[in-house]
Amino acid sequence: MKQPLLDIRNLRVGVLLGRTQRPIVNDVSFKIMPGEAYGLVGESGSGKSVTSLAVMGLMQKPLSVLDGQILFQGQNLLELKTREMRRVRGKRIAMIFQEPMTALNPLSTIGRQIAEMYVLHQGKSWNEARRLAIDALASVHVPNPDQRTKNYPHQMSGGLRQRVMIAMALACNPDLLIADEPTTALDVTVQAEVLRLIKELCTERGTAVLFISHDLGVIASVCQRVGVMYAGSLVEENETGAIFTSPRHAYTRGLLGALPRLGSRSAHGRQRLVDIDSIIADRSTLTETRYITPRSSQ
Amino acid sequence: MRFGFNFWLGAGLTTLVIVTGILAPWIAPFDPVLNADLMNSELPPDTTFWFGTDAQGRDVLSRTLYGAQISLTVGIVSQLVNSVIGVTLGMTAGYWAGWWDDLVSGLTNVMLAIPSLIFALAVLAVLGPGLPSLLIALGLTNWSWTCRIARSSTLSVKSQAYVQAAQTLGYGDIRIMFTQILPNILGPILVMATLGMGSAVLSEAALSFIGLGIQPPSPSWGSMLTDARQLIQLAPWIAIFPGLAIFLTVLGFNLLGDGLRDSLDPHMRTRKP
Amino acid sequence: MNPVVNAPILQVDNLHVRYSVTGGGLLGYGRRVLHAVNGVTFWVAKGECLSIVGESGCGKSTTALSILGLQKPSEGSILYRGQPFTGPNGPNRMQRAKAVQMVFQDPYASLNPRQTVRTSLAAPLRLHGITAASEIEARIEAMLKNVGLTPEQAKRYPYEFSGGQRQRIGIARALILEPEIVILDEPVSALDVSIRAQIINLLLDLKEKLGLSYLMISHDLSVVEHMSDRVMVMYFGQIVEEGSWRQIFETPAHPYTRRLIAAIPSADPQNSTMREFGNPLPGANSISVLDTATTLDVFSRPVDSRLIEIAPQHRVRAVLIA
C-alpha cells in the first residue's frame, strides 16, 4: 500500500469571535496519494479554502488550528517552525489562487517574479534563473515567452496571468499543487484552456493536485477523487464518476439536483431545479452522517 | 455600532467645553470684560480668583469660560461652512465628472497649494478683524480636504450598482446625490469635520494672537494669549489657562474624530467574509 | 408549454455604441475608437426570455445599458411597443423606469446599505406618484411575498441578509414599478450553487405569473440553456449566432458558439457525447461561416459579413460566397 502524500487527520480550525471559538473546519480527514488529483467541493462557508490555508500554514489570527494533524510525506506540517515551513512552501507544496492580479506583484516584471522562485528555492544565479523563467513560460504555452518576461502583470490578460501563476507554482516541481478556485474569474473558453493545462502539466510531472472549487463541473473535469464539504465537515468522498452517478449523502444529492445540467432540457424538458431547503428539513443534521468510500486500489 | 474609548473621551471633553461655553454667563464668577480693577492686576490664583487675574485685573477664570463661547463658535461654524462647500463641490465633481470635475479639482489644487492661514490672513486684511470676518475667512479657505475626500468617496460609491439601480428607477441626479451618495459618504466627512473643528480653534488662536482675529477686550483664548505674551515670566497663569483650554478642546475634537472613524470603519464593511 | 404572445415589445435596430479611448499612438496619446456594440439588431417578445451570451468585452453589458438609458447609443434605434425609446423623442428617466428595470449581478453592491428594505421599495413608488401609505404598504407586502420574503423583514438593513436574500430584495426592487421588461445581468453568478437554484426557480415563476419579458446576460451556458426561450451569441460587439435555445444548444452552427459550448466543464460523465456536433449547415457550399477569432477586430473595419438565416429563426453570421 502506497503511503499517502498528504494525510489530513481530524483537522479542526476555529475562528475567535470575541471570546468564543467558532468552528470553521470540524474534524476533517482525507488523504491524497502521490500524483492524484483530488477535488474539494463546497459552497461558501463550507471550510474548503480554510483547509488549504491550514495545509500551507498561511492562517492568521483570528483563525487558528485547534486540533488534528497534517501529515505531508509523513511529516506533521503543524509541528514545523516558521522557517522550516517556508522551505516546504513553494518548493514542495505550491498554491495558485483565484485572483492572479492580487497574487502577482504589480511592480515587478513577471520574468523577475518567476526567476525569484529559482533563486530562492534552488539557489540558482539570477542569469540562470531568468533563462529558466523563459522556459517555464514556454511550458505553460505562453506565446513569445522571452518578450513576455519583460511584461508587468497589468499588461496581461486574466488567462495569461493565471498561466504565469501556474508557471511560478510549478517552477520548482512541487509534489503537491493546491489550486483554490483558479478559474472562477476567467471566461469560459479561457477556463477550459487553463484546466487543460493544469491536467497536462500535473500528469506529465506527477504532481498531485488539491483542487478547490464550488463548481462541480470544473472539479469533475480535473479530479479523480472528490470530497464534498458542508459547514466544516467532509460529508461525502468518492471517485468522481461515482459521486455523479450514485451520490449517497443528502447534501450531495441536493447539490447535484440544484444544477442546471447541459443537455437535460433537450432530453427531459425543463425540470424544476431542486431547492435543497425543501428536500432537507433540517440543515443542521447534514453533518451528522458522512459517506466516505475508500479507494478501490487499497 | 460600538464606540471605543477614544470616542467617549473625546465626546466627553467636547461636551464639557460646549456646556461650559453655554453656561458661562451663569457660572462665571465675574464679568469677563467689565470687572477690570487695576488694583487686582496680575494676581496669582487664590481663593477669589481661581485662575488669577490678568494685566487689567480681570478674572482669568471668567475670561476663559467666556472664551469657550467664541472659540467654539469659530470652530463649529467655520467648519460647518467648510463642510457644506467641500461636500457640495466634491460630490458634484465626482458625480458629474467632465469639465466641472476638472474645474473643481483645479481649484482645490490651487487652494491646497496656498497655506491656509496666509489665505485667511489675506481675507481678514480685506474685511478687517472681528468675529464675523473670522468666520468668513476660515469658512472660505479650509474646505479643500473635505472636497477631496467627498470627491473620492463619491467616485467609489458612484460605481456601486445601487446607484445605477436608482438611475434605472427614475431618480434624478440631485435626488441620487442626496439620497444614495451623501448618506454613504458621510462617515469620512464627519471625521474630517471633527478634526477640522479642532484645527479651526487653533487657527482662531493663531489669528487672534497676531491681532487679526478677535479684538480686545473680547475674551477669546487667542487674544488672551496675546495679552499674556509680555508677562509670561512674571504671571504665567494668564497664558497657562487659556492655553490649557485650547489644548483640551482640540484634543477632545481629535479624539472624537478618531473614535468616530474607528467605529464607522468596521460597520461599513457589510460584505460576507 | 408557455404560450408566448409573439408581438415584440422591445425592438433594437442596428445599435452601435462607440467609445473613444486613449492609448497607443505616440507616447500613449493616440485616440482610437472602441466599437463596443457594432450593429446589433434583435427583438424581445412579451413573456419570453432572450439571453445574450458571450465572454467579457463582447458588448452584452453595453447593449443592456443602452436599453436602460444609462448609455447613449452612437447609432441605431431602440423601440418599446413601437415607440422610440432613446434619443430626443424618447421617454425621460421616469417614464423609462416603468418599462424596463434591471436585476444586478452583485447582491452585495446592488442595495444601498443605508436604506431599509422598506425604504428601497417605497421610495421609487413615492417618486412615481403613489403616495397613499396604505397603497404603498399593500404593494410592498405583495412584492415581498412574491419574492419569498416576509413583511417583518422589511424593516431590516441589507447587511442583515444573506446573498440569496439580498438578490430577492433586488428582484423585488426591480419589479416594484411593474415593468414589462426586466434585464437580468448575471443574476445568479455571485450566488452559491444551492441558492442559484432557488433564484432561478423564482425568476421563472415570476415570469409566468407576471407576464414578464427577460433579457438575460450571462456567461453561464447551463443557466442560459435552462432559462431561455431564445439565445443570442455575441462576439466583439456583433451577433454571431441567434436562435431558439434548442437550435443553439442542439445544433450550433457558428464555430465560436461551438467552442463556448464545448468549453463548459461537464459535471455529468454522460454529457461528453453531446459535445460532438455534426455539420448542421444546410447548403453549406454557398455560405462560409467565419471563425471570428481571426477575422474580427474591434479596431478594424468589420469584414462584410451578415446574419444569414439557416433555419426558421436560426441565424448565423457568415459571408456569401458565389
Beta carbons of B75 and B198 less than 8 angstroms apart: yes
* C70/B164 CB distance under 8 A: yes
A69 forms beta bridges with A9
pLDDT of residue C244: 95
- Residue range B163-188, pLDDT digits in tens: 999 999 989 899 999 999 998 998 88
pLDDT of residue B42: 81
- Residue range C231-265, pLDDT digits in tens: 999 988 889 899 999 999 998 888 889 888 888 88
* B162/C70 CB distance under 8 A: no
* A258/C194 CB distance under 8 A: yes
pLDDT of residue C290: 55
> Which residues of chain C are within 8 Å of residue B167 when distances are taken between CB atoms?
70, 93
| pTM of the predicted model over 0.90 | no
CA distance linking residue A264 with residue B132, whole number of Å: 78
CA distance linking residue B186 with residue C8, whole number of Å: 45
Phi and psi at residue B220, to the nearest 5°: -120, 150
- Residue range C279-288, pLDDT digits in tens: 444 444 445 5
Asked if the C-beta of C186 comes within 8 angstroms of chain A's C-beta atoms, the answer is no
* A220/C269 CB distance under 8 A: yes
Q: Is residue A14 helix, strand or coil? A: strand
Chain A neighbors (3+ CB pairs < 8 Å): C
> Which residues of chain C are within 8 Å of residue A185 when distances are taken between CB atoms?
none
Is the pLDDT score of B271 beyond 80? no
Chain C residue nearest residue A216, CA to CA? C267
The fraction of chain A above a pLDDT of 70, given in percent, is 99
* DSSP code, position B41: T
Q: Lowest-pLDDT range, A108-112, C45-49, C309-313?
A: C309-313
Q: Nearest 10 degrees: CA dihedral of C258, C263, C266, C271?
A: 20
HSE-up of B203 (CA within 13 Å, CB side)?
30
> Which residues of chain C are within 8 Å of residue A188 when distances are taken between CB atoms?
55, 219, 221, 260, 263-264
Of C198, C263, C267, the CB nearest to A188: C263
Q: Which of A28-32, B201-205, B236-240, C91-95 has the highest mean pLDDT?
A: A28-32
* C194/A43 CB distance under 8 A: yes
Grid cell, residue B52, equals 488669577
CA distance linking residue C51 with residue C218, whole number of Å: 7
A235 or B212, higher pLDDT: A235
- For residue A182, give the H/E element and its range: none
* C127/B171 CB distance under 8 A: yes
For A266, C259, C285, the CA distances from C281, given in Å and listed in that order, are 20, 16, 9
- For residue A161, give the H/E element and its range: helix A158-170
Q: DSSP secondary structure string, A199-211?
A: HHHHHHHT-EEEE
Place of cell 426591480: C174
pLDDT of residue B1: 59
* DSSP code, position A25: E
* A255/C194 CB distance under 8 A: yes
- Residue range B19-75, pLDDT digits in tens: 988 988 888 888 888 777 787 788 888 888 888 888 888 888 888 888 888 888 888
Grid cell, residue C293, equals 477569432
Beta carbons of C97 and B170 less than 8 angstroms apart: yes
User: What strands lie across the sheet with A176-180, from one edge to the other?
Assistant: A93-96, A176-180, A208-213, A37-41, A225-230, A233-239, A291-292
Is the pLDDT score of C59 beyond 60? yes
Grid cell, residue C240, equals 454571431
Asked if the C-beta of C226 comes within 8 angstroms of chain A's C-beta atoms, the answer is yes
Phi and psi at residue A158, to the nearest 5°: -55, -40
Asked if the C-beta of B156 comes within 8 angstroms of chain C's C-beta atoms, the answer is no
Asked if the C-beta of C135 comes within 8 angstroms of chain A's C-beta atoms, the answer is no
Q: Chain A closest CA to C139's CA: distance in Å?
A: 27
CA distance linking residue C112 with residue C119, whole number of Å: 10
Average pLDDT, chain A: 88
Chain B neighbors (3+ CB pairs < 8 Å): C
Please report which residue ranges of C148-233 form alpha helices under DSSP H: 163-175, 193-210, 221-227
Q: Which one of C72, C112, C217 makes the best mutation probe of the B interface by having the most chain B beta carbons within 10 Å?
A: C112
Phi and psi at residue C282, to the nearest 5°: -75, 150
CA distance linking residue C68 with residue C104, whole number of Å: 12
- Amino acid code (one letter) for C155: K
pLDDT of residue C94: 86
